[in-house]
Structures are given as structure tokens and as C-alpha cells.
Structure 1
Amino acid sequence: MDSTRLFYDQLAADYDRMYADWDASIAHQGRALDALISQELGSGTYDVLDCACGIGTQALGLASLGHRVTGTDLSPVAAARAVREASARGLSLPAAAADMRQLPFRSGSFDVVVCADNALPHLLTEADVRAALRAMRRVLRPGGLLLLSTRPYGQLRRERPESMHPQVMEGPEGRTITFQLWHWHEDGERYDLEHFQLHPDGDTWTTRVRRATYWALTEPETAALAAGAGFATTAWHQPADTGFFQPVLVARVTSHDDN
């Protein structure tokens, strides 16, 4: 996972530049996830672990709605920025570096675990995905809720795109342009991503390139792995229904053990 940690260490300072309006996205994504939590657990505020918090996009949104959010991320640089962003907004968000396969919390510590924004597919083997899902299940209380979002990989594996549409952020110094190139492996399931950002620099551009690898698990494959890790009542919810920008797997814990 060293390459994944390096990817997000390098991206942490510029991650918000992938959004046209990061603060608006924080609020929108927080509301969408909160609605799913309320739908499953009832209205109220809960103990939430965002186990791939990055610089805080989902965690900040949920914290602003009153949830007691803890963040972890493989990248210590990203987690540190999440803490700073929370402080700047008058929010509490304790966060630290941790591998989602080995979450450093006691069993049954949380009501909700969030693993959003296509974080799980950085794990490239079934053993690693199962280990992460078991760790998420372990730290949930009986009746607890997992919210996990990925790209719509069933469609993407059929289409095998080679790039993603550019994203533009207008800032005080000009426009930042973000785009991706995808290089599919021969297995048709994994791909290497080149993440480009063009930063305005007077009359020219500064280009920053980061690289990562993903496993394009389809929705049925991900649900089956979650069920194998001990989650029950798994179901996918689509963006048209939730308002969240990716499909979200909703899964529940009906009993608790340390497996």
C-alpha cells in the first residue's frame, strides 16, 4: 500500500481543487449520507467512523450535522489536513493515519462506518478486501451500518474507458483543471490511473501527475464480499435515489464477534 499512501500524501494539498465548490460538495454529500443513516437507523446523531476520510469531504459534512465523527486514512498527510479543516470550521474531527484492514479501535466502537469515494478498490486482492470489510464489521456495534461507495464498475468494466472528463475549479489565481487517464490491465478488472492537475502559473501551467492502481469490483462482487465478511441485508442505492455521487452499498451488522 506504499504507492497508495504516496498518491494521497501528494494529492492532499490539492484534493479540494477537484471540486468546482468543495464546501458545497461537503454539505451535499453530508446530507446525502445522513439521509441514508436516518433511513436505516432512525433520526438522531451517531458515532461514525470514516475509515477513508481523506481531507474530510464526507466526514466534515457528517460532523456539521451533529454526528460524532472519527476519521482515519492511509495517508497521514490527508488525515492531518482533515483535522485542520475541521478546526477551521469549528468542528470536532479527531483523525489519524490507519490502514482500513487493521483499524485501531475496540470492537463495537461505532454505530456507522463510512468507506466512501472509491477507497476500497485500492485493495487489489480478495484477501485484502475481505480483511478490510472484516475490520469494518468488527468495529461496528450490533445493528451497526456500513455505507460504502465505489464507481459503477459493472458498467465501466464493459466500457473500459481510457479517460475521465476534466473537472474545473475556478480559484483566485485562475482555473485548476483535473483529469484522469486509465490504463486497463489484461485481466480486464484492474487499471492504473494517472491523475493530472494543471495549475495556473501566470501565462502558463504547472502540471502535477500522481499514479494509483484500482480493482474494479462490480456491485454484485462487492456485496458478495461484504456478505462473506459477515454483513447482512446488503443493498446498493443509486445516485438517482440518494443524491450521492456514487452508488452506495448499505450493509448491516446483525450480530457481533471478533472474526
Structure 2
Amino acid sequence: MPEPSDVARFYDRLAADYHLLYADWDASMSRQGAALDRIIGAALGQGDDRGPFSVLDCSCGIGTQSIALGLRGHRVTGTDISPSAAARAVREAALRDVPLRAAGADMRQLPFADGRFDVVLSADNSLPHLLSAPDVRAALGEMRRVVRDGGLLVLSTRPYDEIRRTRPASTLPQLAPAPGGRAVTFQLWDWHDDGEHYDLEHFQLVSDGPDWRVEVRRTSYWALTRRQLTGFVTEAGFAGPEWTEPERSGFFQPVLTARAL
């Protein structure tokens, strides 16, 4: 993985504009929250234990999933490698009357006691910022440590099995409204020779009347296949890993769930 400061810097720089990735951020939060709530409820909501649940979102960003789950009654704590993103998550949650405690933290060193949470969540392709097997193992080991026995792991990533077959060089532009006009976001991908890692240039063009502000942010990812990630999850002490497709879950990315042994 790049130095934590490198990844933190990427998201620190993106934090103020992150909502511009969405045509309607609140509507997207609502959809994601509904999907994640169903996933969690289906796994843990049996018998008298039907929630709400204590959830650690260990890559909370500006609060997209944390706020969404809080709006559905779950007790959510957030951490993120970017202190700026975590601070914005707290502010955005307060604007929506959602109690949320969030702070900067590396998912490889989570600042919580063993077995504290019912659910640990890392969504929206966050885990693949870890570029080596030792780093992935460290993060998943920490997730296992802080979730109770029988608790739930929820991960989502890009559909990397297909992506590694096609090795795209870019993403399609996304258009969203901005206070002064419009925002256009797209990515350029440069693949490493190993066919598994890629460097990303994140372009964001934001208009303010006739003028445009251009931001270019850079980071890297490990395009983990389902087999690779399932293996790491099992090694970390989770059982019954299961992938769910977006058309079934309603979440925008494939979701991996597993139970803590």
C-alpha cells in the first residue's frame, strides 16, 4: 500500500467535493442504506435479535453508508484514513439528525476493543487500496478482532473479475449538479505489468458560471478477484463467505458477506 499519508491525502483533497460523484447524494444514500439494511437484517435479524445493530464503518468517507444506516436506526461508528472525510461525515450526519461518531484511523490498526461491534462494514471499493497481501490480512484481521463472535462482515468492491479480463483504461464521465453549474467526473487507469494493480487519475471538472475548476487526484488499487478476497476473508477467521450481485441486493457493487467464527 502507498504510505497512509498518500491515501489520506487523496481523500482529504476529495472530501469537499465527494458528493459531486452523485447526481443526487441523498437519494443514493437512501438506496444504499435500504440495501445494506436488508443485507444486515437477512444475516443477523433472526429470533429476538432483530436490531438495530452496532456497526463499524471502517472506511466511512464523508458518511454515505454510515449516515444511511444511521437513518435506519443502527448505531454507527465511522473511521476513515482521511481525517477530513471523517470530519465531514460527522457534520453531514448532524445536518440530518443522525448521531455519528467518526474519526481518522487506518483500518489496519482500528482503535477499538475486541468484539465491540455486531457488524463491520467496508464499502465502495475501499479495501483494494491495500496493495499487498500482508496489508489486506492486517485489515481483515482487525475487522475480525473488533466484531463479536457470530457478527457480520460486509465488504463491497468493483467487479474485478470482469475488470481484470478487460483491463479498461478509463471510466465513463459522470455528470452531477454543482452549486455554480455542473460537475463532471471521470477516471484514467494505468495498469501495472502484473495485470492486478493499477494507478488511477481522478479528474473532476466543476463549473462556476463560465469558468471551470479542474482537480486531478491520484491513487492506486489492487484489483482483487472474488477468489482472492474470499480466501483472505476466510483466513482472517470469517465463515460462509457469500457474494451477492447488485441486481439481487440493490447495492451498486457486488457485496461479500461472512460471519465471524
TM-score range, shorter-chain basis?
over 0.9
Measure how far apart 1:201 and its partner are: 2.9
Q: Does 1:195 align with 2:198?
A: no
The residue number in structure 2 matching 1:149 is 156
Superposition deviation, residue 203 in structure 1: 1.5
Q: Distance in 2 between matches of 1:169 and 1:134?
A: 37
Instruction: Establish whether residue 116 from structure 1 lines up as the match of residue 119 from structure 2.
Output: no
Secondary structure of 1:102's match?
Answer: coil
CA contact (8 A) 2:144 2:260 kept: yes
- AA matched with 1:253: A
Tell me the residue number matched to 1:32. Answer: 35
- RMSD across aligned positions (CA): 0.7
Helix, strand or coil: the match of 1:169?
strand
What TM-score does the superposition give when structure 2 sets the normalisation length? Answer: 0.96
Q: Percent identity?
A: 61
The answer to whether the aligner puts 1:6 opposite 2:9 as a matched pair is: yes
Letter of the 1:89 partner, please give it: R
Asked if the contact 2:178–2:206 (Cα under 8 Å) also holds between the matched residues in 1, the reply is no
> What's the secondary structure of 1:148's corresponding residue?
strand
Unaligned runs of 5+ in 1: 255-259
What letter matches 1:33 in structure 2?
Answer: L
Q: Which amino acid aligns with 2:212?
A: W
Match of 1:102 among 101, 109, 131: 109
Distance 2:209 2:34 in 1: 38
**Cα deviation digits, residues 57-91 of structure 1 (max 9, x gap):** 00000000000000000000000000000111111
- Hey, what does 1:138 align to over in structure 2? 145
Match of 1:165 in 2: 172
Larger deviation, residues 227-236 vs 164-173: 164-173
In structure 2, what residue type is equivalent to 1:170? P
Looking at structure 2, the residues matched to 184 and 171 of structure 1 have their Cα atoms a distance apart, in angstroms, of 31
Instruction: Give the aligned length.
Output: 254
Matches of 2:43 and 2:183 in 1, distance apart? 38
Q: Secondary structure at the match of 2:203?
A: strand
**1:86 corresponds to which of 44, 69, 93:** 93
Is the partner of 1:100 in helix, strand or coil? coil
- Unmatched 5+ stretches in structure 2: none
- The superposition leaves residues 12-34 of structure 1 with CA deviations (integer Å, 9 ceiling, x where unpaired) of 00000000000001111011000
Report the AA paired with residue 219 of structure 1: R
Tell me which of 41, 57, 61 is aligned to 1:54: 61
Secondary structure (helix, strand or coil) at the match of 1:132 reads: helix
Shift >3 Å, 4+ stretches: none
Letter in 2 for 1:35: R
Who is 2:18 aligned against?
Answer: 15
